[in-house]
Amino acid sequence: MYALVALISGLVFGLGLAFSEMTNPAVVLGFLDIFGDWNPSLMIVMASAIAVGMIGYTIKNKRIKPLLADDWQIPSLRHIDKKLIIGSGLFGIGWGLSGYCPGPGLTALTNNPSEGFYFITALILGSAIYQLQNRISH
């Protein structure tokens, strides 16, 4: 049942990305181009995501435990640290340069294979560098 819910959730998420054109890097880059041909559609996508998240937290606060797990998997860290700032900065820079974040980047493997390959390769390489650095520092 858990795998089925995960599959359906992933499909709904992917369809939402495709329907809102967030798989098209030109739309994302158009949102970031506030002094040029600005495209505000990403704000609607963000507002929708926040609304869904608020509904999720409302449901979570009314239930003792989830339907398909033993306990809630909520992040415990509540402070802003160096790792968060650097990680979010790198994510934003990568997103701004390419127009892709990880979900739409995967779809680019079929929509635009050459760009998708470079993006996913950089994503995997960046993740590997982080894992290596994390092992060395701990």
Say what the pLDDT of residue 62 is.
93
Last residue of a domain, one of 34, 49, 74: 74
Say what the pLDDT of residue 69 is.
85
Say what the pLDDT of residue 124 is.
92
Last residue of a domain, one of 43, 59, 74: 74
What is the mean pLDDT of each successive set of 10 residues along the chain, which is 138 residues long?
90 86 88 90 90 92 89 87 89 88 86 88 90 84
Residue 26 CA to residue 45 CA, distance in Å, equals 15
Tokens of 50: 């926040």
103 burial (CB, 10 Å; 0-12 / 13-18 / 19+) is middle
Examine the domain organization and report whether 25 and 69 are in the same domain. yes
Residue 39 CA to residue 25 CA, distance in Å, equals 12
Say what the pLDDT of residue 89 is.
92
Domain encompassing residue 111: 77-138
Say what the pLDDT of residue 125 is.
92
Tokens of 49: 């995501």
Say what the pLDDT of residue 13 is.
86
Residue 100 CA to residue 89 CA, distance in Å, equals 15
Examine the domain organization and report whether 7 and 69 are in the same domain. yes
Last residue of a domain, one of 40, 74, 108: 74
**Geometric angle at alpha carbon 76, from 70 and 77, rounded to 5°:** 160
Nearest to 83 by CA among 136, 28, 134: 134
Say what the pLDDT of residue 108 is.
84
Tokens of 109: 């493997």
Examine the domain organization and report whether 56 and 84 are in the same domain. no
Say what the pLDDT of residue 21 is.
86
Examine the domain organization and report whether 44 and 17 are in the same domain. yes
Examine the domain organization and report whether 53 and 67 are in the same domain. yes
Tokens of 44: 């609607």
Tokens of 19: 């329907």
Q: What is the pTM of this model?
A: 0.69
Say what the pLDDT of residue 115 is.
87
Say what the pLDDT of residue 110 is.
85
